[in-house]
Structure 1
Amino acid sequence: MTRALRVVGAERPEAVFAALREALTGTGGAVVPRATPSGRTDEPWPGTAESVPQNVALVIETSGSTGVPKRVALSADALLASAAASAGALGGQGQWLLALPAHYVAGAQVLVRSLAAGTEPVFYGSGHFDAERFAASAGALSDDLRYTSLVPVQLARLVEAAENGSRSVAAVLRRFDGILVGGQALNPELRGRAEQLGARIVSTYGSSETAGGCVYDGVPIGTTVVRESAGQLEISGSVLAEGYLGDPERTAAAFRDDDGVRWYRTGDLGEVSTDGRVTVYGRSDNVIISGGEKVLLDAVERLVQAVPGFGHAVVVGVQDPEWGHVPVVVTDGGAAASLRQLRELVAERLGRAAAPARIVEVDQLPRLASGKPDRVAVAEVARRQGA
């Protein structure tokens, strides 16, 4: 059996919420939240006759590294299993504030968790993220347990506002029973500052293919199991996606069966300790060869972000006539350390090849709608600055 696809404009999260309610109960089509208005006529997919298997409730569209979009098909069972695992890890179901775009899996899962809990979410709305506006939105939460999901740049703005004297933001940070932070690595220094203000921070790891975060503070939640295979992380459990719509080759490359257990190849470098704790080092494709040595840019970025003034910095690889590629630091903060200091720090921890070649200061880092850095645009800025 199959069901129809239903495109809903993500700028209307209330409509996405209503559509998900119908999809999860089997009374409506599978939801495709889209960043552009659903009335667009130049989007070729889905066609009017296209459908998906009956168990698919949500399709998340993501941009692939090759430029070919991925359409991740998530079943109702996977979505609800993820919501149940999250509630178990957080200490109970509650009311959520949606401050992320509804077409990203983390945003959609805020809505799914609300449906599973039987609570009405509070919608931050569209537009630039503002700490005071967030605090005002959080004031509408009335349930005993209150949660939200953010990306690191949003948390940073809240922390900065509270540290700069905003009593309303400081109070709101303490009101949440859990603030999930994911989408990219959370700087330990930022986490520490947030916790000093009384915030209950939970660092999450996951992707659209795992129905969102499935590892909380390094610990797999629910039925999730994480293992290391040839240095890369693989995930199994009830939260896995069905695959990629219309792309059997990509599905076969990312998902595999091993002795009757289905595993998802994350593409992330990491390790799993003997007690099951997961450490993520970074993307296996975010690596450069500099002077014949492999450099993991995510590792360089974590070190750089720990330096005062570089909390939002992004490290990208840029072609170099002598070394092949070199790391370059791009930051929109007032650089509090010199290039020499950064190079010495990184070289001591990661080796000479990983030492940044230069620092590029910009007024504002290019970002995606989710709040994550737009690494393609950042790399282009770094390339032009070095030309």
Structure 2
Amino acid sequence: MPQLDLAALHEAVAAAIPDRECLVWEDRRWTWREVTGRSRRLAHVLREHGLGRRDEDVPSWESPHDHLALYLHNGPEYLEGLLGAHKARVAPFNVNYRYVDDELAQLFGDARPAAILYHARFAPAIERVVHRMDRVPLLLQVADASGVPLLEGALDYEQSLAAADDAPLPVRTSPDDLHILYTGGTTGLPKGVLWRIGDLMVGPLGLVRRDGSPIDDLDEAVARAAKGAHRVLVGPPMMHGAGTWSALGGWCGGGCVVFPSRVDGLDAADLLDTAEREGVTRIPLVGDAFARPILAELDRARAAGSPYRLPRLRTLLNSAAAISPDVKARVLEHLPHARIADVLGSSESGFAVTRTGAAARTFAMAPGGAVLSADRARRLAPGEDELGWLAKGGALPLGYLGDPVKTDATFLTVDGARLVVPGDRARLLADGTVEVHGREATTINTGGEKVFAEEVEGVLRDLPGVADALVVGRPSERWGTEIVAVLRPAAAPGDAALRDGCARLLARYKIPKAFLRTDAGLRLPNGKADYAAARALVAAEAADAAETALAPAEDRGHAG
């Protein structure tokens, strides 16, 4: 099936609407013509340093491209980096800017970047790890408020662009060119997911008709984009799929991408001020980590007599983490013209199931979706009482970079169709909707019973006084593993109240045996659960308890 590619589509849309706004950040505005010129200049810089695609056949888990690492906070350079890389036929990939040196070195060892585009504040980390790489990459440093000087051997980004040509590139891009998305590594080492850009566009980026069929005609895609009036406010970090897909999806539809002023974390007041000022139509969210601060700011503004006015906002697109039903309902009270759409998927599948409405508990299957049997050998029919695996067909990645074993284990052929099975357990109900139980990797086996952490977390987050909650397992002599909840309290609910609240909705074996409280954040920058932090808190509490138990009686206050 013929497909389009990002570079060619962006060029064609820019030719049709050259003076329309394409990108906005603070008081800076770029038209489609200006973004085209800057991304061409970056592509010329990459090509002049010998980077591009090699004409060779490689297995589905390998890449024929040179790779560009994007080690950046959100901002115009991130989008220019993505687009410029594709114009140069270089495969871009995301870098988690929270990584410490060993994690960064591991990522670069796996991804083998030929070039790194990075904000100046990350220059010290680059300097420490670059000598551990097999080759010295091209370093392009973006000046920022940190004031960190240019690394030795690095090129200043703006100076390089200013000296480069802005003519069209003398290379023909292709839907077969790769876009690499590294997973967050929350359940293991990060893995580079290899998307053909053509598949990415008709999958996660939404280049499809109303009936779900892919748009493969360039003139049709340009005409659709020319009618587009979307303004997408991207708050989630683009180092993860939710942010990148929201931004590029907006561009594929001819929309303008808007960034809030603060790009190194969520500032709800700044985000809503930007949304109001710029008349945004869509805002991506990442679970309660985004929705709760936004709700608090909406409440504050209303109480102060100056509510936010967002008449053009139509969609809050939530992915990667859940929003509590009560939080949804209260947000929609402030935004009666908008809807909250939940999409559940992964870096490997795109969006597999969707739902709307504050009270909805089950999901509708997205096109190409399926629930496989427990042995992953067949598709389940609606109403089969078997806990299976959520799967997705259609436009899919090729595999994992450098990992044929993991590729074969995750991408299956069932009944002649290629499907991806990222690891979510699910049940297909009689009405055709999907009940999602959670990731197998976060399942806790306690006393012979399987407990899905996300189910318990959802109940806890709905209890009064609980701002956030994660659930992990810890060793237990009685149960093998017992469930422990790590809470960030908004008030001070006692353990008994928490147990009673859980007991109304959960079987006894699912109720946490202990509740730990912390003021620390339990979320990664993209809003996903930080299970490593939760496990560290549980381990530290266990170590403190053991030390107390071993201390002399007088030290414990029990002398005489």
TM-score by length of 1: 0.87
In structure 2, the CA distance between the partners of 1:140 and 1:6, relative to structure 1 (3 Å rule), is farther
Q: Which residue of 2 aligns with 1:9?
A: 71
What RMSD over aligned residues (CA atoms) do the two structures have, in Å? 3.0
2:348 aligned counterpart, secondary structure: helix
Cα deviation digits, residues 159-200 of structure 1 (max 9, x gap): 111123357995356542101111112221211111222242
User: Aligned letter for 2:256?
Assistant: E
Quote the offset at 1:86 in angstroms. 8.0
| Partner residue of 1:71 out of 192, 210, 230 | 192
Is the 8 Å Cα contact of residues 60 and 71 (structure 1) preserved in structure 2?
Answer: yes
CA distance in 2, matches of 1:320, 1:33: 39
Which deviates more from structure 2 when the two are superposed, residues 178-187 or residues 37-46?
Answer: 37-46
Cα deviation digits, residues 288-315 of structure 1 (max 9, x gap): 2323333222221111111111141222
User: Aligned letter for 1:34?
Assistant: V
Is the 8 Å Cα contact of residues 332 and 339 (structure 2) preserved in structure 1?
Answer: yes
Cα deviation digits, residues 83-127 of structure 1 (max 9, x gap): 22688599x772211111111011110121122012230112422
CA distance in 2, matches of 1:273, 1:227: 10
CA distance in 2, matches of 1:112, 1:367: 24
CA distance in 2, matches of 1:316, 1:190: 24
| Partner residue of 2:91 out of 12, 30, 36 | 30
TM-score by length of 2: 0.62
CA distance in 1, matches of 2:68, 2:390: 31
1:317 aligned counterpart, secondary structure: strand
CA distance in 1, matches of 2:306, 2:481: 42
| Alignment partner of 1:83 is 2:205 | yes
Quote the offset at 1:264 in angstroms. 0.8
CA distance in 2, matches of 1:229, 1:347: 30
Is the 8 Å Cα contact of residues 228 and 272 (structure 1) preserved in structure 2?
Answer: no
Which deviates more from structure 2 when the two are superposed, residues 252-261 or residues 165-174?
Answer: 165-174
Cα deviation digits, residues 248-270 of structure 1 (max 9, x gap): 10010100112331111121111
| Alignment partner of 1:216 is 2:354 | yes
Is the 8 Å Cα contact of residues 11 and 126 (structure 1) preserved in structure 2?
Answer: yes
| Partner residue of 1:225 out of 369, 382, 397 | 369
| Partner residue of 1:116 out of 246, 252, 255 | 252
Is the 8 Å Cα contact of residues 316 and 375 (structure 1) preserved in structure 2?
Answer: yes
Q: Which residue of 2 aligns with 1:306?
A: 462
Percent identity (aligned): 25
Is the 8 Å Cα contact of residues 226 and 278 (structure 1) preserved in structure 2?
Answer: no
Q: Which residue of 1 aligns with 2:81?
A: 19
Unaligned segments of structure 2, at least 5 residues: 1-54, 56-63, 98-116, 138-173, 213-227, 356-362, 375-386, 546-560
Q: Which residue of 2 aligns with 1:185?
A: 322
Is the 8 Å Cα contact of residues 231 and 250 (structure 2) preserved in structure 1?
Answer: yes
Q: How many residues align?
A: 379
Unaligned segments of structure 1, at least 5 residues: none
Q: Which residue of 2 aligns with 1:255?
A: 411
User: Aligned letter for 2:293?
Assistant: R
2:308 aligned counterpart, secondary structure: helix
In structure 2, the CA distance between the partners of 1:172 and 1:150, relative to structure 1 (3 Å rule), is farther
Aligned pairs for 1:192-341 within 5 A: 192-198=329-335, 199-211=338-350, 213-217=351-355, 218-221=363-366, 223-230=367-374, 231-341=387-497
1:276 aligned counterpart, secondary structure: coil
In structure 2, the CA distance between the partners of 1:8 and 1:334, relative to structure 1 (3 Å rule), is closer
| Alignment partner of 1:98 is 2:267 | no
Q: Which residue of 1 aligns with 2:103?
A: none
CA distance in 2, matches of 1:5, 1:195: 42
1:139 aligned counterpart, secondary structure: helix
Which deviates more from structure 2 when the two are superposed, residues 224-233 or residues 95-104?
Answer: 224-233
Greater Rg over alpha carbons, structure: 2
User: Aligned letter for 2:192?
Assistant: R
CA distance in 1, matches of 2:285, 2:300: 20
Cα deviation digits, residues 188-227 of structure 1 (max 9, x gap): 121111122224211110111023x342212234x43222
In structure 2, the CA distance between the partners of 1:261 and 1:57, relative to structure 1 (3 Å rule), is same
User: Aligned letter for 2:251?
Assistant: L
Quote the offset at 1:22 in angstroms. 4.3
In structure 2, the CA distance between the partners of 1:187 and 1:133, relative to structure 1 (3 Å rule), is same
User: Aligned letter for 1:210?
Assistant: S
Which deviates more from structure 2 when the two are superposed, residues 34-43 or residues 334-343?
Answer: 34-43
Is the 8 Å Cα contact of residues 135 and 172 (structure 1) preserved in structure 2?
Answer: no
In structure 2, the CA distance between the partners of 1:305 and 1:119, relative to structure 1 (3 Å rule), is same
Which deviates more from structure 2 when the two are superposed, residues 195-204 or residues 12-21?
Answer: 12-21
Quote the offset at 1:358 in angstroms. 2.0
| Alignment partner of 1:156 is 2:278 | no
Structure with bigger strand share is 1
| Partner residue of 1:362 out of 501, 518, 540 | 518
Which deviates more from structure 2 when the two are superposed, residues 366-375 or residues 240-249?
Answer: 366-375
Aligned pairs for 1:129-168 within 5 A: 129-142=266-279, 146-152=281-287, 153-166=289-302
CA distance in 2, matches of 1:86, 1:45: 41
Cα deviation digits, residues 8-63 of structure 1 (max 9, x gap): 22325322312333455x543111122346462526679679xxx97243211124
User: Aligned letter for 1:180?
Assistant: L
